[in-house]
Amino acid sequence: MTILVTGSAGFIGYHVAERLLADGHQVVGLDCLNDYYDVNLKRARLARLEQHAGYHHSYADLANRSAVEQVFSGHRIRRVVHLAAQAGVRYAATNPHAYIASNITGFLHVLEGCRHHGIEHLVYASTSSVYGANRTMPFSEHHPTAHPLTLYAATKKSNEMMAHSYAHLFGLPCTGLRFFTVYGPWGRPDMALFLFTKAILAGEPLKVFNHGRHKRSFTYVDDIVEGIVRVLDKPPAANSAWDSLIPDPATSAVPYRIFNIGSPSTVELLRYIELIEDSTGRKAALEMLPLQPGDVPDSEADCGALATAIDYVPCVQVEEGVPSFVRWYRKHYDV
């Protein structure tokens, strides 16, 4: 079948597109290759996808309504994996409009495309950041998400609400996935693993916020991809067993659900750095700094609902995942 993957030149989108192509699907990729981070890295990912005969790329901006509509009308798309977004927490301080244009207006255009073209399932990326000020661990889909601490998180919470309204009004099957700290080969240059590896190999000090007292459900990208692919094959139905997240009988007929997807094992940031040191064979100089605005000290994923729905929970440990990234980094950048 033909599947649309938005953000296909991005980190997770690239991996998802490759997996779907390997599984024999036709993939339509949508990505405008913006310059939020190194465009050459995005081009390198895209070049690998374009080696596949089953891949077609559309250079479209999600905020451009007509361009997104042309993608939907120009292909016989059956399912959509929506991963394109303005990512990052701190970038919102300097360019908040990018988040609204991409994450809110852009998501509306995707929803409209799905609505008018009979899409059988929309799977879209949310984030563990929606838990915001919540401090009850592990984070559960039943926990409140009314107090996001960043504009990025606020836009993702908005996406969840927008998707629910389209599921309710138009019967569009929607599944939101709250990602927990995804890492791995071809990762984003603004993420900790990339920044730390680059600094260690360059002999530069690492900026370690909250004095290294962070604890995270670091989740390897292959685990995320496996979860997405399994969820994609199981669109929610009205009155399905997955409606436990919407216990109100008045809304139980809505084909809508949300899952956490993250490693069930948390890892302290300093342990994460130790693994990078082991993988590079170099010792890091640490610059300890206070907690940054918008950061949360800890995140831990409760993936019980995901396990029940698709019989899968992320399983790659950081002891395997971090060395895999470092090998890719050294090969790709020849260092």
Residue 261, helix vs strand vs coil: strand
- Please choose, from the candidates 183, 182, 181, the residue with its C-alpha nearest in 3D space to the C-alpha of residue 322: 183
- Please choose, from the candidates 268, 272, 270, 99, the residue with its C-alpha nearest in 3D space to the C-alpha of residue 183: 272
- Residue 230 burial (10 A CB sphere; 0-12, 13-18, 19+): middle
37 classed as catalytic: no
Instruction: Work out the angle at residue 263's Cα, subtended by the Cα atoms of residues 257 and 269, and round it to the nearest 5 degrees.
Output: 130
Q: Which of 14, 55, 99, 152 is catalytic?
A: 152
Alpha carbons 267 and 218: distance in angstroms, whole number: 7
Question: In this structure, what token pair is assigned to residue 101?
Answer: 């244009």
Alpha carbons 97 and 112: distance in angstroms, whole number: 21
Alpha carbons 290 and 299: distance in angstroms, whole number: 18
Question: In this structure, what token pair is assigned to residue 116?
Answer: 């008018």
Q: How far is CA 142 from CA 15, 129, 243, 292, in A?
A: 29, 15, 12, 27
DSSP 36: S
CB 232 within 8 A of CB 81: yes
Q: Kindly list the catalytic residues.
A: 152
